[in-house]
Amino acid sequence: MGEESLYESLSRRGVSRRDFLKFCTAMAAALALPSSMVPRIVEALEKKQKPYVVWLEFSDCAGDSESILRAAHPSIAEVVLDIISLEYHETIMAGSGKYAEKALHEVVTKQKGKYIAVVEGAIPMKDGGIYCTIAGRTALEIAREVCGSAAATLAVGSCSSWGGLASAAPNPTECVGVGKAVPGITYVNLPGCPHNPENMTAVIVHYLTFGSLPALDAEHRPLFAYGKRIHDNCERRPHFDAGQFVRKWGDEGARKGWCLYEMGCKGPQAYFNCPTIRWNTGTSWPVQAGHGCIACAATNNWDAFGSLYSRLPNVPGASYQTTADKIGLGVAAVAAAGVAAHAAIRVAKGSVKEPEEK
Amino acid sequence: MPKIAIDPITRIEGHLRVEAQVEGNKVTDAWSSGTMWRGIEIMLKGRDPRECWAFTSRFCGV
């Protein structure tokens, strides 16, 4: 299982050298590494053993599992499933009950400190954690044991990153992310609802190549995936700048692919590489499909920005009611108001006499 | 006769436990429990009805 290298297992499954190199190049691009790093990635994936991985599901919907299983591109799907030696995953494993738990126990004890724990789903803390139990143990107990003995934990999806949907107000089961539930572990948050499997694959490739996790931001998210704002990378951005907005579902603007800001798009508050890597092997992403971004990767998105359909207030540059001509008029009006205000102050100070009406 | 418990039931989404009473080689009674609860119905109270689909579609991601 964990003994062969990724490249060996790929060739065994008929993936060509060319596709392997294409994958390594794509991973370097995803990680924002220079192309000179590609040979290092190639070398690492050729030589290093596949890491043991256990995939834990807690208060989740299995959407992050689906996201990775639905990776449509043949070589990527091969790689995603083959890059890791997946020893435990409730939704896809054959064994049930005690056989499943035995597989988990073996990795945790025999590969202690060497395996990667992937966590999907939040950890409920209320009432001693009874709102999610597996084999009679709470999610919290399992996370403490399994993440506590792992080389690193990958929190995939928003629920395991910061609580996600499971923690939406009033957070009935007091759900939190794994980093908060088990303090002191080494972890990476990959929020998103669901997470994007290409980012998770890139993190694992980085780990295999450099022996470390990629650079993270203050919320433990890799900068390569969460460093840029959706609004700044959105294909509909020119329409925002031009004041061309969808104002009603199905209107002319909607048909023409105009900006969805008026319809509640949260792109100006969301940091994620969704517009660049997209979904289903780069086919599309929510805004391209015609719906505003729901900021699924942003902490507390279900409550922080109002309804999914309410317009975000105070977005700089939101000239949503104007055309370029009107912006010009607006600037003139502001200037005029400033002059008037200034005049009023001078009048009040008695330095200018008010002109008489004629 | 023994009562057996299978937990987790795998290859499904969610967390399921089944307990069965076995007499000889026959199951005479059985109990199933969903062992995870998030309270999404409670979250929906007071929200903009237009956004509820985004919550309910996350009951299950399969």
Q: What is the mean pLDDT of residues A138-155?
A: 97
Mutation site for A-interface testing, chosen from B11, B32, B41, B58 by largest number of A Cβ within 10 Å: B58
The pTM score is: 0.85
The tens digit of pLDDT for each residue in A163-208 reads: 999 999 999 999 999 999 999 999 999 999 999 988 988 998 899 8
Q: What residues 9-48 of chain B have any CB closer than 8 A to a CB of chain A?
A: 9-15, 35-40, 42-43, 47-48
Q: Spell out which residues of chain B touch residue A133, defining contact as CB-CB under 8 Å.
A: 15, 35-36
* Of B16 and A5, more confident: B16
Q: If you average pLDDT over every residue of chain A, what do you get?
A: 86
- Hey, is the C-beta of A7 within 8 angstroms of any chain B C-beta? no
Listed as own residue / partner, the contacts of A277-286 with beta carbons closer than 8 Å and 24 or more positions apart are: A277/A30, A277/A196, A277/A198, A277/A199, A279/A196, A280/A70, A280/A72, A281/A71, A281/A72, A281/A73, A281/A76, A283/A72
H helix count then E strand count, chain B: 2, 3
Q: Is the pLDDT of residue A1 over 70?
A: no
Percentage of chain A exceeding pLDDT 70: 84
Q: What is the mean pLDDT of residues A26-31?
A: 89
Mutation site for B-interface testing, chosen from A165, A176, A265, A309 by largest number of B Cβ within 10 Å: A165
